[in-house]
Structure 1
């Protein structure tokens, strides 16, 4: 009988300690940041969709193999932003090209690593490069302003 009590005791301790660990961790999930771009005239500072220079139907986001990449155009209330929310859900390196009417505006390179630490999953961006164009990043909104012209 004593031989059976010890294994049950060990199992009970294991289940109790794993329960407590899960309660301490809880649910913690951080989605990756979206990449949001505003295209503006480099001289006037006007949004190029708002002023009619560009048409949202002419936007293309392509990978290095020219496969289309999912994106969203936010046009409500004349906001007129391009949003890419597919980057960083997994560890990956992406090379995207953003075109308007088949003309390249800029390149986007991202080295993203999906991590799990201290009970939380999150994305660390090792490197982000926007090539072939002048740009600025708003630290308040996270929007990249791309200067065209």
Structure 2
């Protein structure tokens, strides 16, 4: 009986380990990271600073604070005029991103994020998010940060 127990346990262990990779095959679960979206407004009037002509799309710079390298961003013009940073949260990182308008630092976005996998699902866990050097509020319903700048 003891001779049978050892091979049986070994076989059972092999079955469990071989199934663990296949357990996720039938699960379609992927959660992309949050896209940081900013509505940049005049602090006094509440007007969008792109809509009122204070700034133009070509005056936007988005750079990593640590080394000054460019950070991917999108500008959605037209009637919306939002700045979006979709490149944060795809990997574990501490991101300090400086947003410059017309060569001047407007504000800094700080994000401490972990990219995790749990129960076959990938997701981002945000440990800390803050905006420095500007007043702001977060519109949870629209998932937009309103940044208030003095002109």
Match of 1:66 among 59, 65, 68: 68
SS at match of 1:57: helix
SS at match of 2:33: coil
How far did residue 19 of structure 1 move? 7.9
The count of corresponding residues between Structure 1 and Structure 2 is 142
Structure 2's unaligned 5+ residue stretches are 1-6
Contact 2:74 2:85 in 1 (8 A): yes
Match of 2:38 in 1: 37
Match of 2:109 in 1: 108
Structure 1's unaligned 5+ residue stretches are 1-5
TM-score w.r.t. the length of structure 1 is 0.85
Bigger proportion of residues as helix: 1
Match of 1:26 in 2: 27
SS at match of 2:19: helix
Kindly report the root-mean-square deviation, in angstroms, between the aligned alpha carbons of the 2 structures. Answer: 2.6
Q: Which residues of 2 match residues 119-134 of structure 1 at below 5 A?
A: 119-134=120-135
How far did residue 69 of structure 1 move? 0.8
Distance 2:94 2:142 in 1: 24
- Deviation string, structure 1 residues 6-53 (Cα, Å, up to 9, x no partner): 88xx48x828x8289626861211000000001011111111100111
- Deviation string, structure 1 residues 42-80 (Cα, Å, up to 9, x no partner): 11111110011111110000112111111000013x100
TM-score w.r.t. the length of structure 2 is 0.84
Contact 1:25 1:119 in 2 (8 A): no
